[in-house]
Amino acid sequence: MTAIADMISYFQWGEVVAVYSDDEQSRNGVTALGDKLAERRCRIAYKAALPPDPTATRSDVKDQLVKIQMMEARVIVLHTFSRTGLLVFEEARNLGMMERGYVWIATTWLSTILDSVSPLSSKTANTIQGVLTLRPHTPDSRRKSAFMSRWDKLSNGSIGFNPYGLYAYDTVWMLAHAVDLLLDQQGTISFSNDSYLSRVGGGTLNLSSLSIFDGGKQLLNNILQTNMTGLTGPIQFSPDRSPFRPSYDILNVIEDGYKQIGYWSNYSGLSVVTPETLYTRPPNRSSSSQNLYSVVWPGGTTEKPRGWVIPNNGRQLRIGVPNRVSYQDFVSGSRVNGTDTVQGYCIDVFLAAIKLLPYAVPYRFILFGDGHKNPSYSELVNMITTDVFDAVIGDIAIVTNRTKIVDFTQPYIESGLVVVAPVRKSNSSPWAFLQPFTPNMWAVTAAFFLIIGTVVWILEHRINDEFRGPPRKQLVTILWFSFSTLFFSHRENTVSTLGRVVIIIWLFVVLIINSSYTASLTSILTVQQLSSPIMGIDTLVTSNERIGFQVGSFAENYLTEQLNIPKSRLLALGSPEEYAIALKNRTVVAVVDEQPYIELFLSDHCQFKIRGQEFTKSGWGFAFPRDSPLAIDLSTAILTLSENGELQRIHNKWLSRKACGSQATSNESDELQLKSFWGLFLIFGAACFIALLIYFCSMIRQFSRHVPEESHPSTGASSRSTHLRTFISFVDEKEEVYKSKSKRKREHVLSNSHVKEDETRNSSKRSQMGGSQQRHDITKQNKAMALKYQPHLVNPIVFRSSGSATLKPNSLRCNLSVSSTTIHVSVSEPEPVFASVKTFAPATVANLGPGFDFLGCAVDGLGDYVSLTVDSTVHPGQIAISQISGDPAASKLSRDPLFNCAGIAAIEVMKMLGIRSVGLSLSLQKGLPLGSGLGSSAASAAAAAVAVNEIFGGKLGEEELVLAGLKSEEKVSGYHADNVGPAIMGGFVLIRNYEPLDLKKLNFPEKKDLYFVLVSPEFEAPTKKMRAALPLEIAMAHHVWNSSQAVALAAAVLEGDVAELGKALSSDKIVEPTRAPLIPGMEAVKKAAIEAGAFGCTISGAGPTAVAVIDCKERGESIGERMVEAFWREGKLKAVAAVNRLDRVGARLVDSKPR
């Protein structure tokens, strides 16, 4: 019976009907079934007892089945013997109870018939279609198969063999083993007379002639200790003398036979895996592990029956409805000529849900209440348990006490207790702008504004002219800089790294403070400020004021039982009008009621507001008896109403009012406390402290080196004060002056040492030579001195303009030499040669198979254009991007030069040239699609770098321009020159090294042709994503192979051998095998290119463009068509093809306008 209970629980049925023979065995079985069902929160709704077999008649069976047919439950467990069981199925079929909607579960008697009688008669088979039954499980084994074969031969296959026959066979062997063991233990078998039988042995029974076996207890003990393997599997007994690990096959009767849908064992419950397999695993009775195969139910359906119906007994459901006096928008009723009529929001929800049920439900509404005051809802719900009502609907709150006696549906509206009280408006203050912050917050914020100015002044004073000058000017600068950061409008530039770090952190702090202040002030000035002494339920609990509640509501019990408020403080109110009068007259200070009622009340009474938050969470539902299946189906229907919007439509029909303030009003001050921001101030203060600590450590280190050179020996207080004044003077001194002094001192010391050496050498010579000879040596000595000065004076000394806050690179150079005493001064910033220029940079193919990250080439005909103009409206030394056009995706590119490839490269070239006095306007025309693998970012960077260089007269060489382009590439896809190198230099470019940059141009012979077939699909392959797919480690064999192919590729380029070039280009074993699968159809495209006659094909850069090489343009066009077809056929990607020659020039000037 445990197996049947598990099946009923698995299919989630709550009630069953038990049909059984009225004998001791069947009664005990049904009792056990009831106990097991109760453990799973199921029950036997009705027990139909039939006369013991074989006395049950067709009439007896029919009478019971007719009763069952009128009941709610449709799951029937049949526990009889075979004759009565088949009779029940025949009558059930005649009554239409073997059709869709019914569930029949038969005990093992039916499986015995299925195994013994084969095939079944057509009448019997049709009668039991869709029935579930159990069969004792016997594991398959060779012994069992051999035995069954012998049985079939003996019976000629006319008599089937069921598991009970196997059990009988094993029982005989088990008894034989037990008796054999007994003989070994005792040696003989003896019997004795029982005196008790002699005393009661009179009559015809003659019991006194019976003898009792003396070894009975020992024989029983031998049986219970049996441990053997029979035809039915292992034979053992548990301590309670029941079989060890019983198990069953679960069968589903179909057509003229059956199918097995699973197993049951007391070890792991229901499963589609054999029990003996489960015995090798840990036991698992969780709901997720319970499984059965699909079932064909009566009526031929595979859809699981619901297991119950509305009883077909002609009785309607008695549905109780509260007869409300107030808030009749929710529920209202009237009684006319003895008939109750109801309407309202709750009624419409119920009617809409009932219509969604897949079956008809007869019902009638019965009003509860006298119509003079709201009824008690707790009494109404209790009437379900006393069988006065079959269900209760309306505005019934789902609370704990009620859920203990009835079942509720899914809530159809949220509800909870809230507090409503009178409020008054607060007048606006002219000092409202001070209210967002507390006084402490104002004080700390102002202090930190002064701190930031002071800290930045300390960090910038020695190196930044904008923070230098007379004391008064410096004080004004500190104050102006401090408070201008509030609006991010500080005009003083910060030069030091520490200063910039501090400013960045401070600006973040200011951003948070600004945003918080603005939000709080907006709330204060725009949201109506209301006040009330009642701030929520906590205020009411601690006060001694009276509280109102609605008659019949559970609020009364909650306030007294949960919050311990005396009943003397509570006042029952019957209608919204009574609410308003009691609140206005101060009869009560507040009313506690459920939120739906309060929202309806506030829609007409704007002088009251909800105070505090909802302090209970619940909802309204419909009540039904415990374990009612109708509650479950109605819950599903309510969820459907919520999902399809019908529930909201009903709400709008009854409860939508023009509300004037149902929102809860904030009771707390809008002032922002210092505790909300102390973390920000702590971070900023720590940053300032660390920056100052690093700065002063550096200052002390410099001073300790500087002082010994200038200090004079002295003692006492005078020495300390002098030392302090020296330190202050040193701190106030500009850093460039200090560096200049230190450099001159080092040169002076060095020159003095040279002079002393020469004087020593010459003095020894003068002691040996005459006057004229001495003069000649002095002249030579002076020349030697001049030559010894030369190494130090040839290096240029850079002069800074005193009026500038920042350095101009290479502004003025003073070159001193021995041969001339004149100073050559040259201004290194070049003047613009053109008013505007237009440049072009070609597309590039990087990697070229085995040349990953160190080989690339330029492709003619495709590329980006950059137009550059001298623009007086642009700030000197800066560049502005005025337009980005071309490829549709180019609109995604930023026009901020710091975040644009062209802008970054242009800025780098301007830095290299030292451009400070000219502003430039840049226009970018994208000819290459983004993320195509054709070096789109490199083309933009190369064109921009060449444009800036050309407009100033082409001062820089190719390697400097490549470095500028690398700065751009570094921010986009990494520090790689295999795109930007060929984009600037043209042809094939090999990158030998980056530190220092070493590029080698591989010249493809001029007399030979090389064409690239470029096929670009509509697919974006970001470089970062494609690089993430690369392997972290490679095999040594692959490394050696790729290295050899890269050398072969370079040799093919230099020799102009296109065939060998294509062969090497297609031979990558490291990068391309990981990237090709990420581009749909790429493998098919490469194969199509080779088959069409291409010398080789690979992925261009990171992809997704495929590039093939050929020496003839006409053949290239046909190859491109085949590659486009392959992209569409295998990858479902549209693609375009282009055939272009090798670009041997690189980025170049295409147009210019002189100034």
Catalytic residues: 969, 1023
| Strands of the sheet with 547-550, listed across from one edge | 570-573, 547-550, 590-594, 417-422, 608-611
Asked if 732 and 461 touch (Cβ cutoff 8 Å), the reply is yes
- In eight-state DSSP terms, residue 245 is S
C-alpha angle with apex 98: 92 to 99, nearest 5 degrees? 140
Alpha-carbon span 372 to 370, nearest angstrom: 6
* Short-list 548, 541, 531, CA closest to 597: 548
User: Both tokens of residue 4?
Assistant: 């049947």
Integer angstrom CA distances of residue 1042 from 669, 849, 901, 989: 72, 9, 31, 18
- In eight-state DSSP terms, residue 290 is -
In this structure, which amino acid lies at residue 818? V
Backbone phi and psi for residue 63, each to the nearest 5 degrees, phi listed first: -60, -45
Residue with tokens 């039982």: 561
Compute the residue count for the chain: 1155
User: Both tokens of residue 590?
Assistant: 């507040």
Alpha-carbon span 879 to 452, nearest angstrom: 31
In this structure, which amino acid lies at residue 607? Q
3-state secondary structure of 865: strand
Q: How many CA atoms lie within 13 A of 1113 on its CB side?
A: 7
How does DSSP assign 687-718, residue by residue?
HHHHHHHHHHHHHHHHHHHHHHHH-----HHH
In DSSP terms, which residues pair with 799 in a beta bridge? 812
* Short-list 347, 366, 370, 365, CA closest to 574: 370
Alpha-carbon span 552 to 322, nearest angstrom: 10
> E strands of 272-412, at which residues?
317-322, 332-336, 339-343, 363-368, 391-397, 407-408
* Short-list 163, 103, 91, 150, CA closest to 130: 103
- In eight-state DSSP terms, residue 567 is G
Strands 391-397 and 317-322: parallel
- Enclosing H/E stretch for 799: strand 797-799
Alpha-carbon span 1027 to 474, nearest angstrom: 52
Strands 570-573 and 547-550: parallel
Alpha-carbon span 486 to 885, nearest angstrom: 38
| Helix pair angle (735-766, 678-710), 10° resolution | 20
Alpha-carbon span 654 to 641, nearest angstrom: 16
Asked if 325 and 574 touch (Cβ cutoff 8 Å), the reply is yes
Alpha-carbon span 509 to 512, nearest angstrom: 5
Alpha-carbon span 18 to 30, nearest angstrom: 7
Beta-carbon contacts of residue 1086 (< 8 Å; ≥ 6 apart): 1066, 1076, 1097, 1098, 1106
